[in-house]
């Protein structure tokens, strides 16, 4: 993966540190609905959580027996998750660290890689990151990508003309040989979401992509 220069890294880190520092630290962050929906029946193994954010996904996965590597470009987010993991007795199942996945990906082999709402208001080559993540999967492992498919009232981008790539377009952008990777699911799903303030709700659309590595 192409290296990211230090200035860009720190701009991203500063941005997301500010975002998370301005939000109250949740005592019991909830997992993303699509993660629970698509991963509950999988056999636990090693998982990479890209952009761990509030930590709900990592805590849920660890609680179900997964060995979690959770990364975020924000030191605030990673530190909060590490603290929550230890408080819940999950410190041995969760490795939480600040890491810029645009520059590299941690680890060598996973049974699952998740990337929920991996969007940002700055330049990043999402396809390159997700393609690299797919290459870290063991045979039989899965890449779960959940993207925004609509604009919520709390979204940082309120441009009415913004276009959300379809799951099929995201899959095509990864350029993964079909003999080695199979698209198991593409879906546009609606749900009622709760905003960062914990009270505001809105109906949103999720774009779901699930890819399995065959060999």
pLDDT tens, 163-182?
899 999 999 999 999 999 99
The CATH number of the domain where 165 resides is what?
A: 3.40.50.150
Kindly state whether residue 141 falls inside one of the protein's structural domains. yes
Kindly state whether residue 60 falls inside one of the protein's structural domains. yes
Q: How far is Cα 23 from Cα 142, in angstroms, rounded to an integer?
A: 31
- Reported as a pLDDT band with limits 50, 70 and 90, residue 162 is confident
What proportion of the chain, given as a percentage, has pLDDT over 70? 95
User: What residue has token string 């925004």?
Assistant: 148
Strand 201-213 to 181-194 pairing: antiparallel
Structural domain for 81, as ranges: 6-22+30-213
Kindly state whether residue 187 falls inside one of the protein's structural domains. yes
pLDDT tens, 39-85?
999 999 999 999 999 999 999 999 999 999 999 999 999 999 999 99
Q: What is the pLDDT of residue 159?
A: 80
Kindly state whether residue 1 falls inside one of the protein's structural domains. no
Least confident of 8-17, 67-76, 184-193: 8-17
Residues contacting residue 70 through CB under 8 Å, at least 6 positions apart: 49, 52, 55, 57, 58, 78, 81, 94, 95, 96, 97
- Reported as a pLDDT band with limits 50, 70 and 90, residue 2 is very low
Number of domains forming the structure of the chain: 1
Residues contacting residue 171 through CB under 8 Å, at least 6 positions apart: 183, 186, 209, 211
When comparing pLDDT for 54 and 23, which is higher?
A: 54
Asked whether the beta carbons of 185 and 210 are under 8 A apart, the reply is: yes
Model confidence pTM above 0.75: yes
Kindly state whether residue 201 falls inside one of the protein's structural domains. yes
Q: Which residue in 69, 118, 123 sits closest to 98, CA to CA?
A: 69
Is residue 133 predicted with pLDDT exceeding 80? yes
Maximum mean pLDDT: which of 65-69, 160-164, 198-202: 65-69
- Reported as a pLDDT band with limits 50, 70 and 90, residue 190 is very high
Q: How many CA atoms lie less than 13 Å away from 201 in the CB half-sphere?
A: 6
Q: What is the pLDDT of residue 199?
A: 84
Q: How far is Cα 183 from Cα 210, in angstroms, rounded to an integer?
A: 6
């Amino acid at each position: 993966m192409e290296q990211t220069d230090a200035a860009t890294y720190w701009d991203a880190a500063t941005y997301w540190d500010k975002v998370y520092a301005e939000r109250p630290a949740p005592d019991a962050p909830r997992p993303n609905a699509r993660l629970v929906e698509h991963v509950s029946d999988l056999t636990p193994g090693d998982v990479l959580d890209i952009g761990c954010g509030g930590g709900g996904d990592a805590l849920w996965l660890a609680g179900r027996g997964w060995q979690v590597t959770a990364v975020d470009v924000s030191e605030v987010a990673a530190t909060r998750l590490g603290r929550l993991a230890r408080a819940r007795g999950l410190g041995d199942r969760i490795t939480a660290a600040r890491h810029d996945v645009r520059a590299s990906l941690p680890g060598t082999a996973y049974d699952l890689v998740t990337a929920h709402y991996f969007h940002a208001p700055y330049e990043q080559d999402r396809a390159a990151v997700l393609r690299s993540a797919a290459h870290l999967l063991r045979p039989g492992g899965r890449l779960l990508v959940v993207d925004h498919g609509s604009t919520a009232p709390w979204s940082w981008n309120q441009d009415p003309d913004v276009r959300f790539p379809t799951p099929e377009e995201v899959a095509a952008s990864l350029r993964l040989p079909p003999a080695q990777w199979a698209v198991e699911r593409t879906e546009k799903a609606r749900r009622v979401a709760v905003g960062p303030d914990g009270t505001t709700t809105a109906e949103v659309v999720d774009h779901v992509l699930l890819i399995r590595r065959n060999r």
